[in-house]
């Protein structure tokens, strides 16, 4: 039988480890959740704009293109914005179909011209009826929802609820229904929803709360989280993203995804 003294010692050691981990998360978050982070991250693309809808559109494309080297992502997202005359909302809402020919040369990894053409068409139709892309997610949620599962699933269904849907484009928009971690869309939601006094994330959307966000789980974040004992699941899927987010809520239940800065930063700068 274990003695009470031993149990107390184990508890103290556990508390010490948790406190040390919390301190590490806070320090690393402060180091990367800083304006200097913006220039070398895809979030720099929407940061070039001040209009809500320009930020939404630039952020959406920068987010869904975010796999591979960050410098390449920024360059390709910038190229796409230039094709929209560096005024994405005006272009999306007012361009004529013949102007879409300019996208015929655009490619980023598996993202092809047909994918861009489909998404541009969908966004044009969407903005003809809605003032903000926020509703494309928030309409499927309530404030009582634990997380953004319904918002992400509803966004996917809305994007592909068209008779001319391109099946190949589906792989560029993730959904938790298919057990995806939805890394890129969760990152996009982090950009648009959470806010603080650092000026990195935008905090423009108010119908979704920071406490509902799910960590953008990729290889870097997953590897660091496992080394820290924050994640047991071996596969980077929706369940793993949920598990990690729940662990982070122990340190900040209202804004757990702010620790994405710590985990991602440590992952790319080990």
Give Cα 180 to chain centroid, integer Å.
13
- In angstroms, the CA 35 to CA 198 distance is 7
In a domain, 213, yes or no: yes
pLDDT tens-place string over residues 109-159: 999 999 999 999 999 999 999 999 999 999 999 999 999 999 999 999 999
> Residue 263 is part of which domain span?
22-268
Does position 6 have pLDDT exceeding 70, yes or no?
no
The token pair at 192 is: 């648009």
pLDDT tens-place string over residues 153-210: 999 999 999 888 888 899 999 999 999 999 999 999 999 999 999 999 999 999 999 9
What is the chain's alpha carbon radius of gyration, rounded to the nearest angstrom?
A: 20
pLDDT tens-place string over residues 95-109: 998 999 999 999 999
- Residue 42, helix vs strand vs coil: helix
pLDDT tens-place string over residues 21-34: 999 999 999 999 99
In a domain, 13, yes or no: no
In a domain, 164, yes or no: yes
Does position 8 have pLDDT exceeding 50, yes or no?
no
- In angstroms, the CA 191 to CA 181 distance is 17
- In angstroms, the CA 1 to CA 22 distance is 32
- In angstroms, the CA 172 to CA 252 distance is 31
What φ, ψ does residue 246 adopt, rounded to 5°? -65, -40
How many domains does the chain divide into? 1
- In angstroms, the CA 150 to CA 142 distance is 9
In a domain, 71, yes or no: yes
Q: Structure pTM?
A: 0.93
The token pair at 120 is: 């541009």
In a domain, 209, yes or no: yes
In a domain, 6, yes or no: no
């Amino acid at each position: 039988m274990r003695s009470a003294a031993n149990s107390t010692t184990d508890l103290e050691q556990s508390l010490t480890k948790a406190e040390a981990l919390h301190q590490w998360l806070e320090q690393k978050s402060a180091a990367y959740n800083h304006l200097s982070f913006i220039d070398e991250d895809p979030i720099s693309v929407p940061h070039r704009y001040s209009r809500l809808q320009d930020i939404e559109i630039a952020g959406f494309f920068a987010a869904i293109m975010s796999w591979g080297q960050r410098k390449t992502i920024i360059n390709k997202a910038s190229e796409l914005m230039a094709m929209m005359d560096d005024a994405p909302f005006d272009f999306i809402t007012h361009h004529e179909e013949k102007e879409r020919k300019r996208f015929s040369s655009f490619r980023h990894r598996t993202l092809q011209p047909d994918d861009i053409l489909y998404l541009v068409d969908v966004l044009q139709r969407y903005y003809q009826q809605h003032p903000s892309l926020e509703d494309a997610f928030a309409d499927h949620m309530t404030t009582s929802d634990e997380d953004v599962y319904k918002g992400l699933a509803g966004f996917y269904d809305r994007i592909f609820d068209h008779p001319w849907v391109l099946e190949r484009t589906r792989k560029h928009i993730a959904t938790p229904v298919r057990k995806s971690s939805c890394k890129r869309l969760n990152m996009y939601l982090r950009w648009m929803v959470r806010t603080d006094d650092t000026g990195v994330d935008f905090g423009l959307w108010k119908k979704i709360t920071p406490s509902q966000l799910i960590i953008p789980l990729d290889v870097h974040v997953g590897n660091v989280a496992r080394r820290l004992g924050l994640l047991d699941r071996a596969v980077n899927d929706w369940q793993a993203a949920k598990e990690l987010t729940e662990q982070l809520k122990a340190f900040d239940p209202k804004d757990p995804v702010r620790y994405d800065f710590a985990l991602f930063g440590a992952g790319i700068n080990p």
